[in-house]
Structure 1
Amino acid sequence: MNTIRPERRQGPSLVRGSLVPDSTHDQRLLDRRGPADWVHMDPWRVLRIQAEFVEGFGALAELPPAVTVFGSARTKPDSGEYDMGVRLGRGLAEAGYAVITGGGPGCMEAANKGALEAGGVSVGLGIELPHEQSMNPYVDLGVEFRYFFVRKTMFVKYSSGFITLPGGFGTLDELFEALTLVQTRKVTSFPVVLMGTRFWGPMVSWIKDTLLAEGKISPPDVELIRCTDDVEEAIRIIVEADRLRSETETVERESVEQTVADAQ
């Protein structure tokens, strides 16, 4: 009788059985307990973090324009949310975008599946977790990360925007980090779209009725979020933002060229 052994991906490595450690690289990096040997260990961790950045940049540098799709890993394949994810992935691929997800099951799998079936580029950026979550079978290009912050950098750097399907804590973390980056203009012309008005409606209302009403955010911040049930509308939002960004970049380049010509 075959025994199913525990396994875990650690960056590019796969370990099984007794070699699976009790904690993840992120846990060990952030743990302040124990003796002071962390003073000597953390500088060496920087090299591993650097290597993850280099590997991620190298793997993703030649992607076509891409959109990151977030959503719950717990979404069932027979649900309406999964179907929406498949249609979204397909529509993005048909519009010429690579589809980037966290590489896991549920909504992530759905978006990767739609992209793959439409002949698009399907990307998964996985993460080492205490309970192994394997890369879904619809990923063309998969990259496994040890550290969340490295993975998050890749999501933002190689995306033209985020589309967020219903999800839990991880999805909310990714959503609000994206909104913070846009609000503080760390990234510009970067649309954030929420798919599922029934699911996201109460949160959007709280943002307006509490955060905005109590002065915790400004009126323009509310406009950073677009919420819809229409896959085609979500894709139009991304395409329009790309068009406006391209036009702005063209105007700025022509202005610089004219300034240089006038100076000569």
Structure 2
Amino acid sequence: MTEFDDRADGDDSRAAGAPPQSYRGPVVLRGEQRNQASTTDQRLLDSRGPSDWVHTDPWRVLRIQAEFVEGFGALASLPRAVSVFGSARTKPEDPHYGQAQQIGAALAKEGFAVITGGGPGIMEAANKGAKEAGGLSVGLGIELPFEQGLNHYVDLGINFRYFFTRKTMFVKYSQAYICLPGGFGTLDELFEALTLVQTKKVTKFPVVLFGSEYWGGLMEWIRSSVAGAGNVSAPDLDLLHVTDDVDDAIRVVHDAYAAWQAAH
């Protein structure tokens, strides 16, 4: 019986008078939906058919599933790790580049793998610092409308189609976030992490903002406008740690990880 066979014939389980129906796997088709020009097997095996099916939502679900499987498989044996975020536009001569490199190296020396978006700028600097210090350097890239690619300091790299799949990997395999000066992408990761910590979806997960001059205005706005309007509580402000010192940033990460270990 093919997937489009009408199961009314010989199917006593269907109530008398029920409309004719067909099946497409677990999906029931009635009325005009039964008028299918081809079967799934035919569309799969007939290479001469249209290719539009690869852009349909059901196929996207499989792609999404495949990305999760690929990500989980590649990162399952990752040691403790920290995600470092920051602008892809930061040049090597920028002081923030050197600071990101120092942070990557310091994390590696503490036994943490360093995870970045795998691109240039701050991401490259953190990967470079980790790699040159003998640590594991990880890059989680994303498909973009402009060329970027993984930087040369990535030891383990994965390219994703979907932002939400990639974000899951950042959170699942990190014990902390360190955010250096960056743009919308950095802010996106920052506030998503804060939301997950605030709602206790993740625990013992520090978020460090490195660069008080850069982040000072944002922190003031959160304190005066957001907290001032009662939209976050006073303890929520403690979810962010602002620093200009590499050792202090590493201390925050180390202390949070030690607390997590003690709780488990």
2:89 — aligned with what?
A: 74
In structure 2, distance between residues paired with 1:248 and 1:74? 39
2:188 — aligned with what?
A: 173
Superposed CA offset, 1:39-72 (max 9, x none): x921221001000000000000111100000000
Measured after TM superposition, the shift of residue 189 of structure 1 is 0.5
In structure 2, distance between residues paired with 1:235 and 1:61? 24
1:227 alignment partner AA: V
Superposed CA offset, 1:136-184 (max 9, x none): 0000000000000000000000000100000001100010000000001
List alignment gaps of at least 5 residues for structure 1.
1-36, 250-264
Of 241, 245, 253 in structure 2, the residue corresponding to residue 230 of structure 1 is: 245
Superposed CA offset, 1:61-101 (max 9, x none): 11110000000000010110000000000000000000000
Q: Which runs of 4+ in 1 moved over 6 A?
A: none
2:153 — aligned with what?
A: 138
In structure 1, distance between residues paired with 2:256 and 2:177? 12
Superposed CA RMSD in Å reads 1.1
Larger radius of gyration: 2
2:141 — aligned with what?
A: 126
In structure 2, distance between residues paired with 1:243 and 1:65? 11
In structure 2, distance between residues paired with 1:85 and 1:128? 24
2:115 — aligned with what?
A: 100
User: How does the TM-score come out when normalised to structure 1?
Assistant: 0.79
- Secondary structure of 1:194 counterpart: strand
Of 203, 206, 220 in structure 1, the residue corresponding to residue 218 of structure 2 is: 203
In structure 1, distance between residues paired with 2:148 and 2:111? 29
In structure 2, distance between residues paired with 1:153 and 1:44? 20
1:150 — aligned with what?
A: 165
**1:194 maps onto 2:195 in alignment:** no
1:102 alignment partner AA: G
2:63 alignment partner AA: R
Count matched residues: 212
2:77 — aligned with what?
A: 62
Measured after TM superposition, the shift of residue 186 of structure 1 is 0.6
Q: RCO (CA 8 Å, sep 6+): is it higher in 1 or 2? A: 1
In structure 2, distance between residues paired with 1:247 and 1:171? 30
- Secondary structure of 2:223 counterpart: helix
Measured after TM superposition, the shift of residue 132 of structure 1 is 1.2
**1:218 maps onto 2:223 in alignment:** no
Q: Return 240-249 or 221-230, whichever deviates more.
A: 240-249
2:59 — aligned with what?
A: 44
1:6 — aligned with what?
A: none
List alignment gaps of at least 5 residues for structure 2.
1-51
User: How does the TM-score come out when normalised to structure 2?
Assistant: 0.79
In structure 1, distance between residues paired with 2:67 and 2:262? 34
In structure 1, distance between residues paired with 2:263 and 2:78? 22
**Structure with greater proportional helix content:** 1
In structure 2, distance between residues paired with 1:187 and 1:235? 19
2:74 alignment partner AA: A
